[in-house]
Amino acid sequence: MSGVIGRWFRLAVLSLVSALVAVNASAATEVKGARIWPAPDHTRLVLDVGAPVTHNIFALANPDRLVIDIRDATLSANLSQLELAGSPIRRIRTAPRNGTDLRVVLDLESEIKPRSFQLEPNQQYGHRLVLDLVGEAGAEQVATPQPTLSDDASGKRDIIVVIDAGHGGEDPGAIGPRGSREKDVVLRLAKTLAELIESKPGYAARLTRSGDYYIPLRERTLLARRHNADLFVSVHADAFRTPQPRGASVFALSQRGATSETARWLARTENRSDLIGGSGGVSLDGKDDTLAGVLLDLSMTASINASIGVGDYILRQLDQVTRLHKPGVEQAAFVVLKSPDIPSILVEAGFISNPDEELNLGSSNYRRKLAQAVFSGIEDYFDHTPPPGTLVAWQKRQGTQGVSHYQIRRGDTLSAVARDNQTTVSELMRFNGLSNDRVVVGQTIRIPAS
């Protein structure tokens, strides 16, 4: 009998041990995949994890390495298959540690400054552990660009428009019913807008991002300041929980957002010397808080008013190529609009959550019409209020502006208007973002200089 009891006891212990092992294995978090997003000033490595994890990172030298220890984790992805081109990573190695943990080692080309954080699930990905590998000098290594001069013999500077494609990299933005990702659509739209701007004498375009990577929101406004921007345009695609809403919108910063931003900037003493630095701004260096606050409020108010002004011009042009969600410029406290000295607008090109508009936004021809409308509005604004020292301002003084306007009357045809203004139908269509030669009474079209 004692032998039977002994065997039963040993089986019970083995069963208990097996159960504990199974529980321990099930408690381990699985690292299921990884992605790398190289950007000009940093590289982002993202690890897909089954749940939030406890981790530790540290750097080693000679040779340069970064070690990531993840507690209670197992690896089911093949990290050696990641494309490392364009990143500072030469090789990725992994190994179990202490029986329950996972160690990931990044062999590096050079020394980096690492930072790590975790992201909650979004529409496309689950829980993620994010590691940013920042070069030793980081974004500070980017040289301050010099003002661009027009090819015109006058030597006047170009109007600089910084175009910001929203989201990017690990942040897909909104996702349409057909799977279109906002980050992809707006990057294509931003590049088309930049091409149109660059093709116009007296204008220069700069992109905050030219590829699929993420830039922090504050950094986007700082990039505009580094480029001495005259205007900052952030491009997005709207979304709603139901598919019915549609139409384009333009946003400027709200006064409430401006008030909170004034306090934030004044609290950061390291920014005071170039707080209103942009294009022809004034310095707050050496000013007491009261005077600095007054100057900053004045600058912020002027920037908001200018933003609403350019937004109005853009809405008029957008109204000719697409439906508007709201007839006027809306105001909200978007972080990317909180520049104290640069007029800044956010353009929602349409609702990607609406099946028809998602389809339109996927069309290069439609995106070009949207981009042309946005640029036409920008031109209209700067034709009326050109920044001092620019070619457009010089042309206005000389009476040689490169654009005029004509309102279609009864009996007019586009070919007749082209003939009367010594241009071609195709040029008028291109200049106004028209898909055909049909015009309607009351429509205002822009006429390029002959």
Which domain CATH number covers 325? Answer: 3.40.630.40
Domain contains 219: yes
Distance CA 29, CA 366 (A): 45
Query: What does the DSSP assignment read for 210-227?
Result: SSS----HHHHHHHHHHT
Cα distance between the two ends of the chain? 111
Number of domains into which the chain is organized: 3
pLDDT, greater one: 402 or 32: 32
Tokens for 232?
A: 């900052």
Same domain, 220 and 237: yes
Exposure of 412 by Cβ count < 10 A (0-12 exposed, 13-18 middle, 19+ buried)?
middle
Q: What are the percentages of helix, strand and coil residues in the chain, rounded to 5?
A: 35, 25, 35
Same domain, 237 and 385: yes
For the stretch 416-432, pLDDT in tens is: 888 888 788 888 887 77
Same domain, 345 and 443: no
For the stretch 254-282, pLDDT in tens is: 877 554 544 444 444 333 333 333 334 44
* Residue 429 belongs to domain with CATH number: 3.10.350.10
Range of the domain at 413: 402-448
Domain contains 8: no
Which is nearest to 434 in space by CA: 380, 375, 370? 370
Domain boundary among the residues 350, 368, 395 is at: 395
Same domain, 163 and 257: yes
H or E element in which residue 46 lies: strand 42-49
Task: Using the CB atoms, write b or e for 21-52: b if 16+ within 10 Å.
Answer: eeeeeeebbebebbebbbbebbbbbbbbbeee
* pLDDT beyond 70 at 202: yes
Question: What predicted TM-score, i.e. pTM, was given to this entire model?
Answer: 0.73
